[in-house]
Chain A
Amino acid sequence: MANIVIDNIKKSFGAFQALKGVSLTINDGEFVSLLGPSGCGKTTLLRIIAGLETATSGDIRIGERSVIGLPPKDRGLAMVFQNYAVFPHMTVFENVAFGLRMQKADEARVKKQVEKAAGLLHIEPYLDRYPNKLSGGQRQRVAVARALAVEPGVLLMDEPLSNLDALLRLEMRTELKTVLQEAGTTTIYVTHDQTEAMGLSDRIAVVHDGRIEQVGTPVEVYNHPATRFVGSFIGNPPMNFITMPVNNGQVAVGAQTFAVPAKGSEIVLGLRGETVERTSTGQGLDIQVRVAEPMGPHLLLTGSILGQPARVILPATEAVKNGEIVGLKLDASRLTWLSPESGVSYPVAA
């Protein structure tokens, strides 16, 4: 087990700056996701931690020891790859045993560790088979078992579920969480899928354009995004951003008024679609509904608020017709206020 300190890591590929000074501390036994759109630098960061890529500058310490310049094998970590990278010419047993064999572990230990890892991932029935005989989900289990068999201090996972179909992904997600909790391994998990990151992580680091925009628990990141990007990237539907006029440090919304920390004449309201309650028009924020979609568990309204596009969610029991105007009551504790110029949110306390 080990903690990880990522200290001002920069990486350039020629003129392109993939990472622009990333710092992050991951505690022992913690599960942290690097979440971001493709090309944001999250995989590059993971590969630098793994030792498969060298940073242009900066330091990485695993368990208080700088690992810059060390080959991957001396960093005390294991990795699960996006396309599994399970060796096709070895049986499942030999795949899971690979790391132990490289460590020249004795046969008894190999057998014990492989059986333990195989048991955790429920792949005991396939130990004698070759990976090509297995389904994608089973292969991914083999890849995870191979990583856990060496009892690594740090586990790195690069989009491990993205090649699985939706149902299997959900199932594996739940299982991964159980397995990793049991193993207690410090884990860095790269994903572009916000539900994966939300569901699995102790903390999420949202990566955008070579920088970490925000680090926090899933609930913090969801409810109080640090920037406009974080709010729009996390959540489905994404957070609504509505520019509103400020008068004497206050924003008036129908019958409600909110004190805001803005200095200028305008502020951006970051509004999660499901934090509103229906009220009569004029009492709160009015939405001009263009389309109302009954989704099953809830009702999704798409339209405009103060002439700006917005999506909100009401309980499935509500009935709203296309073209209708609906009043929305806001919950002061669940609003985010952002600067219209920088797109950065004001501190929550305000």
Chain B
Amino acid sequence: MTQNRPWIPYALILPSVVFLCLLFVVPLVQTIWLAISENGVPSLANMRTMAGDLNFGRSLINTFLLTLAVVPIQIIMALTMGSMVSKMGGGRETILWIWTIPLGISDLAAGMVWLSILQNTGYLNSILFGMGIIERQTAWLTYQTPVALFIGIAIAEIWRGTAIVMIIIVAGLNQVPKEFKEAAEIFGASQWTRFTRITLPLIRPALQSALILRTVLAFEVFAVVYTLGGRNFPVLVGEAYNWQNQNQNYGVAAAYAVLIMVISLAATLVYLKAIKVDPERLP
């Protein structure tokens, strides 16, 4: 049918293209323009305001620190979890299902869950008090306890975001035929060698996707941080939100948005370069 009417495939993808143009490309162009103009003339004023802001340096550092802390731990955890379920016979699906529960919870709700644990009257303090480890309520989430606050946010983020990494990794692990590992075992590779020399290289595509996705999401972290730390722990998206809503300065908010996009793109490029995926060398 399509042989006589070659336009049919194009007609079929047209709605999605229009949709993406209207709701993605147009706002993107507008945002970039908003960021690099003032009163309709090209200008770097918004960028200068952003860079000169008191919270800019801190939010940039915080965002990077959080990403650097959270993403590697999530990848290692996901690899461990994926390897563990791959050795299971029965109950595998149930375990996977339980592990992916955090995926079904919104960022904000996840933040609330951890707030109920970590706030002054939260579960953590109750337990510590009950066990006699602390004598009175201890604050974990204030500007006076930056390390505790950072750890709390990181744990909440890890809890919330590891499942998606794990799903991608498990899918990748399922692609590796077990004969590869068995052959390696026969020829004398230890369990660790099998993992590093056989499994890891063969799940490169999954690893790459997981890293890109998780890193981009980590640079966009907001709701969990906002719930637990408020402005005590400024991050880039949080600053964009403040400039947009509190300061009503859309130009500076747009500048932040563009900065986040540039960082995400750069990270993606780094991953694409660093973890080369050669289809010739995959199963």
Set B179, B280, B282: member contacting A85, Cβ < 8 A: B179
Q: Which residues of B contact A87 (CB under 8 A)?
A: 180, 183-184, 198
Known: A72-B186, A73-B188, A102-B193. A83 touches B281 (CB 8 A): no
Known: A130-B281, A132-B280. A85 touches B180 (CB 8 A): yes
Interface residues of A in 124-141 (CB under 8 A from B): 130, 132-133
Interface residues of B in 244-280 (CB under 8 A from A): 280
Does B53 touch A at the CB level, under 8 Å? no
Known: A88-B283, A130-B280, A132-B280. A72 touches B198 (CB 8 A): no
Question: Would you give the 0/1 interface string for A93-117, flagging 1 where the beta carbon is closer than 8 Å to chain B?
Answer: 0000011001100000000000000
Interface residues of A in 66-82 (CB under 8 A from B): 71-73, 77-79, 81-82
Q: Which residues of A contact B189 (CB under 8 A)?
A: 73, 98, 102
Chain A CB within 10 Å — which of B177, B184, B187, B280 has the most?
B187
Give A324 to B202 CA distance when docked, in angstroms.
64
Does B201 touch A at the CB level, under 8 Å? yes
CB B181 to nearest CB in A, in angstroms, measures: 9
CB B179 to nearest CB in A, in angstroms, measures: 4
Q: Which residues of A contact B198 (CB under 8 A)?
A: 87
Give A83 to B179 CA distance when docked, in angstroms.
8
Give A103 to B186 CA distance when docked, in angstroms.
12
Set A73, A81, A99, A150: member contacting B179, Cβ < 8 A: A81
Question: Would you give the 0/1 interface string for A50-71, flagging 1 where the beta carbon is closer than 8 Å to chain B?
Answer: 1110000000000000000001
CB A323 to nearest CB in B, in angstroms, measures: 53
User: Are A103 and B188 in contact, with the CB atoms below 8 A?
Assistant: yes
- How many chain A residues have a CB neighbour from B under 8 Å? 25
CB B70 to nearest CB in A, in angstroms, measures: 29
User: Are A85 and B182 in contact, with the CB atoms below 8 A?
Assistant: yes
Q: Which residues of B contact A130 (CB under 8 A)?
A: 280-281
Interface residues of B in 117-170 (CB under 8 A from A): none
Q: Which residues of A contact B201 (CB under 8 A)?
A: 89
CB B137 to nearest CB in A, in angstroms, measures: 54
Does B93 touch A at the CB level, under 8 Å? no
In the complex, residue of chain A having the shortest beta-carbon distance to the beta carbon of B193: A102
Does A146 touch B at the CB level, under 8 Å? yes
User: Are A81 and B182 in contact, with the CB atoms below 8 A?
Assistant: yes
Q: Which residues of A contact B187 (CB under 8 A)?
A: 73, 78, 98-99, 102, 146, 150
Known: A88-B281, A102-B193. A72 touches B185 (CB 8 A): yes
CB A263 to nearest CB in B, in angstroms, measures: 51
CB B111 to nearest CB in A, in angstroms, measures: 41
User: Are B186 and A73 in contact, with the CB atoms below 8 A?
Assistant: yes
Give A82 to B178 CA distance when docked, in angstroms.
12
CB A195 to nearest CB in B, in angstroms, measures: 25
In the complex, residue of chain B having the shortest beta-carbon distance to the beta carbon of A47: B182
CB B86 to nearest CB in A, in angstroms, measures: 16
CB A57 to nearest CB in B, in angstroms, measures: 21
User: Are B186 and A78 in contact, with the CB atoms below 8 A?
Assistant: yes
Q: Which residues of A contact B186 (CB under 8 A)?
A: 50-52, 72-73, 77-79
Q: Which residues of B contact A102 (CB under 8 A)?
A: 184, 187-189, 193
Give A180 to B189 CA distance when docked, in angstroms.
25
CB B188 to nearest CB in A, in angstroms, measures: 4
User: Are B202 and A85 in contact, with the CB atoms below 8 A?
Assistant: no
Q: A52-B182, A73-B188, A85-B183 are in contact. List 4 more A-B contacts (CB 8 A).
A: A71-B185, A88-B280, A89-B201, A89-B202
Residues of A within 8 A of B (CB): 50-52, 71-73, 77-79, 81-83, 85, 87-89, 98-99, 102-103, 130, 132-133, 146, 150
Which 5 residue pairs spanning A and B have beta carbons closest together? A102-B188, A73-B188, A99-B187, A85-B179, A85-B183
18 contacts between A and B (CB under 8 A): A50-B186, A52-B185, A52-B186, A72-B185, A73-B185, A73-B186, A77-B186, A78-B187, A85-B177, A85-B182, A87-B198, A88-B281, A98-B184, A98-B189, A99-B188, A130-B281, A132-B280, A132-B281
